[in-house]
Amino acid sequence: MRLTLPPVLKALTIAVALMAAGLFAQSAHAEKYASIVIDADTHEVLHARNADEARYPASLTKVMTLYMLFDALKAGEVSLDERLVVSRHAASQPPSNLKLRTGSTMTVRDAIGALVTKSANDVAVVVAERLGRTESRFAQLMTVKAKSLGMENTRFMNASGLPNSQQLTTARDLAILADAMLTDHADYYHYFSSKSFQWAGRTYKNHNELLGEVAGVDGIKTGYTRASGFNLMTSAKRDGDRIIAIMLGGNTSRSRNAHVEDLVEAAFTTLNDPAHDTQLAFAGVLQPVHPNDAAEPMLNGKRISVIIAEGGSDDDEPEAVDAEPAPAPEPERAEHAKMETPVEPFVQPETHIMSVSEYEARQMGLAK
């Protein structure tokens, strides 16, 4: 049972902590920002801020793509050694990518590694087309699966997280997804701890810099677009306690990482010391403030309400999505091209393709 302070003293203490953290009315302008922290064992919400407000998932979308892939692995529909064919559509995806060539192949195992570490958009489409036949249809299946998990405020329009004004989620829904990943696919969760991935003679470092730096952190995924800000889905385990922390809308990767670390530490402080007041623990966590942000999600610098009023989505070219802004690229060398996966004849395995309605019925328990 946690310590309960007298109401007046508790309010005064929290007010002082908020003043020290600079959290007054101007913090309401940090409209890309949202966060939630939950105890993964009891599902108690330890902290929440803008947790039910619409936000862009960016590459956190790939966690759902991986969830769907793990579903297929568990069902025996695919295997880790199966080779997936790269379509022209997949090969055309903007960075972050592996620069896959049309007609080339890669194993499911490599696809998992590329999604977790490199956050490769071309690989996300390869997986989507294998499981859903087309990326757009796969996105529909992703949305159905999300609803079946309880992610009521999430809609997917693609498998990668590339900008789309209709692809929205909430911090709370992403926490539900993280919890489902831990619960339903514990056998595959270890992939999220991978610190690097090798492909075509190159080594790609995981963008999640909390791995190995913050005690207990063993996943899960970063994300970034200009519209979303810097996102991070995190889970950590210490002394038998596991927490899930979601942060959306960071101003920089460094400030995001520092903020999530603070959230993680505050969570374990409350779990390790039942007498410690939860609100006080999180009141001392500095909240990111971006006074120039709009009061709603934006796409390429334009408010969603403006886009809708203009009669549709933004017509600008999609911006590249990467889990983190990439450093200045090294000059390409000829030998890299030689090490790409060669094009080879391949026959895609025959699989039963359910209709979206049939899939929905199965996920909602209305059919078997």
What CATH number corresponds to the domain at position 92? Answer: 3.40.710.10
How many distinct structural domains can be found in the chain?
Answer: 1
CA distance 347 to 338: 24
61 membership: H or E segment, kind and range: helix 61-75
d(CA 358, CA 353): 10
- The reply to whether 7 falls in a domain is no
CA distance 34 to 172: 9
Rounded distance between C-alpha atoms, residue 82 and residue 259, angstroms: 39
pLDDT tens, the chain, 368 aa long: 444 555 554 444 444 443 444 433 333 234 799 999 999 999 999 999 999 999 999 999 999 999 999 999 999 999 999 999 999 999 999 999 999 999 999 999 999 999 999 999 999 999 999 999 999 999 999 999 999 999 999 999 999 999 999 999 999 999 999 999 999 999 999 999 999 999 999 999 999 999 999 999 999 999 999 999 999 999 999 999 999 999 999 999 999 999 999 999 999 999 988 766 677 678 767 666 553 343 344 444 444 444 444 443 333 333 344 444 444 443 333 333 333 333 344 444 455 566 676 676 676 665 55
Q: Is residue 339 part of a domain?
A: no
Length of the chain, please? 368
Give dist(CA 29, CA 34) in Å, integer. 11
> Does some domain include residue 246?
yes
At 172-181, the pLDDT tens digits run: 999 999 999 9
Q: How far is CA 216 from CA 161, 219, 237, in A?
A: 27, 9, 5
Range of the domain at 73: 26-326
Query: Is the residue at 357 inside a domain?
Result: no
Indicate the pTM of the whole model: 0.75
The answer to whether residue 213 sits within a structural domain is yes
CA atoms within 13 A of residue 138's CA, in its CB half-sphere: 24
Residue among 109, 108, 169 at smallest CA distance from 139: 169
Give the torsion through C-alpha atoms of 71, 77, 83, 84, to 10 deg.
-70
Tell me whether residue 360 is in a domain: no
Residue 68 corresponds to which amino acid? M
Residue 242 within any structural domain of the chain: yes
Q: Which residues contact 343 (CB under 8 A, 6 or more apart)?
A: 101, 102, 103, 104
Q: Does residue 334 sit within a domain?
A: no
Give the chain's end-to-end CA distance (angstroms, integer).
44
Q: Which helix (H) or strand (E) holds 220?
A: strand 217-225
